[in-house]
Amino acid sequence: MDGNFDYDNNPTWRVFRIMAEFIDGFEFLSDYSKTVTFFGSARLPQDHPACEQARALAKLLGEAGCTVVTGGGPGIMEAANHGAAEAGQETIGLNIELAMEQRANKYLTKGLGFHYFFTRKVMLAYSAEAFVFFPGGLGTLDEFSELATLIQTHKIEEKIPIILMGSDFWQPLLDWIKKTMQQEYKTIDARDQDLWTLTDSVEEAYSIIRKALPRKRIHLRHR
């Protein structure tokens, strides 16, 4: 290659690609209000109880006028987009280019693709009034840890709910955080565990989200 648009080997073009993904992402999301971001595994089948909960919660939120944002793929993401579609709302997906697993689910009405995980994560976090985490893999744990850190360090508003759905999945991790990180190693404070709420109830999650405060937004579009 002659170096033109050589994103893989030319650092300069890579920077431009990163900038373009940020600009496109902010502009894409700037028209939506009352957004709630769903996180979770791409591998769970649609008849899994966690997917059924994601679909039910997204439908309730859609009926309340909220916009559901997901990673745009299968599993939990597809279930959440399905629920929002059932409520008659636009369903938003921020997809990622992967060699395997990730495909855009059929319930998306609008989507945007990303090459870089970190730009996509910023967009999934941007302006959401609540974050809902269902059972997932390493990516879900990464997103949970990063968002909890951003709130802990006051890089984003403190009152944004982080909801962990499914005590059978999340409780062992929370037990380890409390016993090992807080009590034994003292690498976090007890109050840091107030950053999230663990629940098995769709209704409780819905109630928490509906009470969440609106977030400040950045508008990049030129009218």
The tokens of 219 are what?
A: 């508008």
pLDDT classification of 181: cutoffs 50, 70, 90: very high
Q: 137-149: per-residue pLDDT in tens?
A: 999 999 999 999 9
The tokens of 199 are what?
A: 């629940």
pLDDT, average across residues 126-136: 94
pLDDT, average across residues 191-199: 97
At residue 189, does pLDDT exceed 50? yes
Which residue, among 36, 35, 37, 38, has the nearest Cα to 51 in the 3D structure?
38
The tokens of 22 are what?
A: 């940020």
Structural domains for the chain: 11-210 (3.40.50.450)
Comparison of pLDDT for 222 and 118, the residue scoring more = 118
Q: Where are the beta strands (DSSP E) in the chain?
A: 35-39, 67-70, 91-96, 110-114, 130-133, 162-165, 197-199
Question: Which residue bears the tokens 């109880």?
Answer: 49
At residue 2, does pLDDT exceed 50? no
In this structure, are residues 50 and 134 in contact, taking their beta carbons and an 8 Å threshold? Answer: yes
pLDDT classification of 197: cutoffs 50, 70, 90: very high
